[in-house]
Chains A and B, each alone.
Chain A
């Protein structure tokens, strides 16, 4: 195997709040991108792997397999057998987690600098030679089902979010839940798992970010030794399906036992790397961030219609959704809450926002951005997220300026363009009888 290290950029530094923020970037010969940021304040390291595979790369019948796979990655490989990843990690003072979304599966390790080589060894082992023990697959199926039961089936917000998203997308794979439909969780086969691994865990489909008490040279030499020998594979095929334009408002009603009703609204918005994204971000802040936001004032404070309102936009590679979730006060008609919310949204679209509101939203977002710079974990997350969603981590360096450039007219324009009645899906969760059985079908027994 040819071993070489291609330098795309080294020591790329930008002045961020008066200090140099340096990231060195390189690509291994097998296509894995490696980004390093040194920070020696505490003797710890954050190591994040971003695999560009998620529920959008699934199909009906195997929904949830990306997330299931995230669990399997902790269940043993060739050199480090079952449980060893966690056992070794914890006994060396480290901790890990992993998460799966529609676009990405992310593995996050935090550990003392002394465990750096061990982590490279263990990570390369599982990326290259994961084991597929049928007994472990069955046990892990139970764990994932338990996760679904907790996060969705027994949680009114979980049910609402799942139904709302499914109604908003009729064609694109964002339609199904990341955790998977219950019947699919019961039915994945070993072949589904193996095929998914081969496709999603290709080194050329991965971005590695390391921040903390390391040197770039140390990381380079360990990456060459452990990760570069992993052979390149064909990554996931492009997602071909595009969501057709929505032609009118869609509505979903969910009946289940609940103390308070919930209203969820989802608007189709462009992907994260779209030019309108900063304006949409500030629009969401003006509408729902803080007690002086328009929706909080109108719905929670003045109107006493809702206990809380939250508007958020998840990063997405394909066109995604901007959500608003409102918990309705006791005795209030959900229709009234909804109407008040739409009036506020329309008011922005018709009359725009004030300079003070815009400046407030910018400051709020700036503080949130800076918060992430306080920790090595936050920085690893930011660097990787920008690299994946914008195709270039250096976009992070202009995040503050991009917010600066947004004008009040931009915010008004995106409100009118995306937050229209025709472009929205509304889900209402109201109190009703309990579901007759758990989600779907029988559950696998352990």
Chain B
């Protein structure tokens, strides 16, 4: 990022290639809309371009980048508060019209039964994640999808680290409760 701030455009391309997938997945899990997620990813990097002059190496670049993406997600979530959430069964992007649930399980590694179980379990799991409160969901996604540490998440969200851990604990407990309903299904999928 420092190189791009000093005028190296190639450095910015490297940054995009390095972080676009993680940003896209985080945003996609947050907004649950592929087109919106793509636009928000684009907006995230554009804001990076605009803010490049003010960049100071005071924090980790990833933290700064996810802060931008998270703020965009929060704004988007507020705008679509009363809109109908996109169904997990809705087509995702340009992937041949395949449903999100179908993308969760790898068909090549499963048999037809397991495929069906995995699809059902993934669908249930995504519903459970979508049902999480925003403050827990963002922390859960930043931890599980983006693989950020708790201290980094605390810096991005702007809350203490213990609060992050607490919210993460609540999110995991809720997901565990959701999985209890599908214990057998989950055990079958794991086996």
Q: Judge: A and B partners, yes or no.
A: no
A residues at B contact (CB < 8 Å): none
Q: Chain B residues in contact with chain A, CB under 8 A?
A: none
